[in-house]
Amino acid sequence: MASDIVEKIHDMLERRADGAYGLHDVTQRQHALQSAWLAEQQGKSPALIAAALMHDIGHLVHDLGENPAAEGVDDRHEDLGHAWLAQYFGPEVTEPVRLHVAAKRYLCATEADYFGKLSPDSVLSLSLQGGPMSAGEVAAFEALPHHADAVQLRRYDEEAKIKDLETPPVAHFMTYVARCLKPAP
């Protein structure tokens, strides 16, 4: 069973992630690999590396199109990805995935220069996702157990948009995914 889900994730990233990542010159696969590679290079936990690799899996599990925000749609990919991943992984992987959009809202509210770092499609999706957090939302977000990992994942998400950047292949990161699976019942 564990090998089946690892193979399924590997196949999704290899066979279904060729679409453009928003308005960027990278594919969904390249974005996922760059995110995971950044986490790995910084010596992060296997759970955060796996979360970085799979943070946008909601786009692959459900065919959400290449840029729903351009059509005025918040695709809620973070919730779709979380729901799918929660079948196989614990909160150390799934919560940063679920919270990575909220982390963008958080960073826009708490760091004066963060909004200026957003790509045009991230600015558009931010408006659909509720804009910067209010003070009350910031406090509630900071109280969540995995908020710090979500913020770090968000930073990888913003950085992982470099055209033609060489990264390890999908297979390289599957060991992290396998290590983080829930034990079989």
Q: What pLDDT, on the 0 to 100 scale, is given for residue 117?
A: 86
| Residue 156 in domain | yes
**How far apart, in Å, are the Cα atoms of 139 and each of 135, 136, 142, 143, 147?**
6, 5, 5, 6, 11
Structural domain harbouring 175: 2-180
Count Cβ neighbours within 10 Å for each residue of 138-165 and write b for 16 or more, e otherwise.
beebeeeebbebbbbbbbbbeebbeeee
Residue 185 counted as domain residue:
no
pLDDT confidence of residue 73: 45
pLDDT on residue 1: 65
Asked if residues 35 and 156 have their Cβ atoms less than 8 Å apart, the reply is yes
Place of tokens 């990233």: 13
**Would you give per-residue pLDDT tens digits along the chain (185 residues)?**
678 999 999 999 999 787 665 556 788 899 999 999 999 999 999 999 999 999 989 888 766 555 555 555 456 678 889 999 999 999 999 999 999 999 999 999 999 999 998 877 788 778 788 899 999 999 999 999 999 999 999 999 989 988 889 999 999 999 999 999 998 77
CATH of the domain at 175: 1.10.3210.10
Beta-bridged to residue 27, according to DSSP, are 20
Three-state SS at 10: helix
Alpha helices, H only, 55-88? 57-61, 77-85
Instruction: Say how far apart CA 102 and CA 32 lie, in whole Å.
Output: 18
Residue 24's pLDDT is: 62
Q: What is the DSSP string of 45-59?
A: -HHHHHHHHHTTHHH
Number of domain units in the chain: 1
- pLDDT the model gives residue 26: 81
